[in-house]
């Protein structure tokens, strides 16, 4: 969805990446067309193994696509990544900090490394809500705080686009909440945040728009409201005495409503609770329970991706996969070698 002036933060066309494996070629991403509008939070959703990390690595020049094109703010990547990398902050896998240093000391080192002004350090610590703990050693931090510090590091050069690959992995509910709030806050400040996840519920509440991928292909995209709307809107669940179920069904269907049976209750599609209640009451049928049930993205997501076996392909050949991964990373076009890429490389973790 382009903005008014048509600018997209990220666009890919026909992006494809296969990996060589002992069993032949394995598809990482298969002809992916992705459009991420400027501003706000964009959820990049798909089951494990659906190609999210591969896509992000291609955008950052860490993996070379076999085919297709990708651009960030209109600059072709990886070719023109150096022109735009200063506007991009990313966390791919877990970043590394010095355990015995405080948050502030860690960030000062990074800021010096990328030539960001030191005033930025306190600003970004504040932005992720770590001011109260800025002087404490990194190793005393909770996982959620560690991840927020990683986000702070990506903010040092005040990027316009933030790319977070499964930033809530391994966090407890409180940590997930912290990261969500931080990402939502960045979106509200006008940044573009691309956040990948295999758990829909983790991004559903904070995403303005989403792209859903399965087996390396885009299967749906749009605003959360549009995707849910495509599912037919809310339904009303009507709990009834067993004797009343048949009569209520014929009553409501005769008034043009679509009714489904669910246990001892009826699910009425696309009507509001008051209407249903009145229709039944007028005929002397009284509902014992009325609940509005919104269609949620979860059902859209499951419907689109249910043929996936989560992580299925990753269970075998773990050692071999790591080897292939190492080979691929070194052959990447190298976001880390472009000018201003220091934040990206320091926060991109072990194998960047």
Ligand X SMILES: Nc1ncnc2c1ncn2[C@@H]1O[C@H](COP(=O)(O)OP(=O)(O)O)[C@@H](O)[C@H]1O
Q: Per-residue string for binding with ligand X, 298-317, x by CB under 6 A?
A: ---------------xx---
Q: Which of 64, 80, 137, 321 binds ligand X (CB under 6 A)?
A: 321
Q: Per-residue string for binding with ligand X, 41-70, x by CB under 6 A?
A: -----x-xxxxxxx----------------
| Residue 168 interacts with Mg ion (CB under 5 A): yes or no | no
- Sign, Cα dihedral of 335, 37, 144, 199: negative
State how far the alpha carbon of 242 is from the alpha carbons of 245, 258, 282, in Å. Answer: 6, 19, 19
109 contacts 97 by C-beta, under 8 angstroms: no
Output the residue with the shortest Cβ distance to Mg ion. 53
Strands (E), 103-216: 161-165, 192-197, 209-214
| Residue 181 interacts with ligand X (CB under 6 A): yes or no | no
From ligand X, Mg ion, none, interface partner of 157 (C-beta below 5 to 8 A by class): none
DSSP lists the bridge partners of residue 235 as 269, 293
**Which residue, 272 or 351, is less far from ligand X as judged by CB?**
351
CA proximity to 180, closest of 149, 212, 203? 203
| Residue 154 interacts with ligand X (CB under 6 A): yes or no | no
From ligand X, Mg ion, none, interface partner of 321 (C-beta below 5 to 8 A by class): ligand X
Q: Which of 12, 35, 50, 53 binds Mg ion (CB under 5 A)?
A: 53
> Which helix (H) or strand (E) segment is 41 a member of?
strand 40-45
| Residue 328 interacts with ligand X (CB under 6 A): yes or no | yes
DSSP lists the bridge partners of residue 57 as none
- Sign, Cα dihedral of 318, 319, 322, 328: negative
CB of 168 to Mg ion, least distance (A): 12
> Which helix (H) or strand (E) segment is 274 a member of?
helix 273-282
| Residue 325 interacts with ligand X (CB under 6 A): yes or no | yes
Binding residues for ligand X, rule: CB under 6 A, are 19, 21, 26, 28, 46, 48-54, 313-314, 321, 324-325, 328
């Amino acid at each position: 969805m382009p903005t008014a002036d048509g600018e997209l933060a990220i666009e890919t066309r026909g992006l494809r990446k296969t990996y060589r494996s002992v069993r032949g070629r394995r598809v990482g991403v298969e002809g992916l067309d992705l459009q991420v509008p400027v501003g706000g939070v964009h959820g990049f959703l798909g089951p494990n193994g659906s190609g999210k990390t591969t896509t992000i690595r291609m955008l950052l020049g860490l993996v070379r696509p076999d085919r297709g094109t990708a651009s960030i703010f209109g600059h072709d990547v990886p070719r023109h990544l150096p022109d735009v990398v200063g506007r991009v902050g990313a966390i791919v896998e877990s970043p590394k900090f010095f355990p015995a240093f405080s948050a502030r000391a860690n960030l000062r080192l990074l800021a010096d490394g990328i030539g960001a002004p030191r005033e930025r350090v306190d600003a970004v610590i504040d932005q992720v809500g770590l001011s109260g703990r800025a002087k404490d050693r990194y190793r005393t931090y909770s996982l959620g705080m560690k991840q927020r510090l990683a986000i702070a590091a990506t903010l040092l050069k005040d990027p316009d686009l933030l790319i977070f690959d499964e930033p809530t992995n391994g966090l407890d509910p409180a940590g997930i909440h912290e990261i969500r709030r931080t990402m939502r806050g960045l979106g509200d400040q006008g940044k573009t945040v691309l956040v990948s996840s295999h758990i829909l519920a983790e991004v559903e509440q904070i995403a303005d728009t989403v792209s859903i991928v399965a087996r390396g292909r885009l299967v749906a995209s749009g605003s959360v409201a549009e995707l849910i709307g495509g599912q037919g809107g809310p339904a009303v669940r009507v709990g009834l005495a067993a004797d009343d179920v048949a009569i209520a069904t014929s009553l409501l269907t005769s008034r043009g409503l679509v009714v489904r049976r669910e246990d001892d209750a009826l699910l009425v599609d696309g009507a509001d609770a008051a209407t249903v209640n009145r229709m039944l009451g007028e005929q002397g049928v009284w509902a014992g329970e009325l609940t509005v049930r919104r269609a949620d993205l979860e059902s859209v997501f499951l419907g689109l991706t249910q043929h996936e076996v989560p992580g299925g392909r990753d269970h075998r050949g773990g050692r071999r996969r790591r080897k292939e991964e190492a080979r691929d990373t070194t052959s990447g076009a190298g976001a880390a070698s472009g000018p201003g890429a220091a934040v990206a490389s320091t926060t991109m973790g072990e194998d960047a």
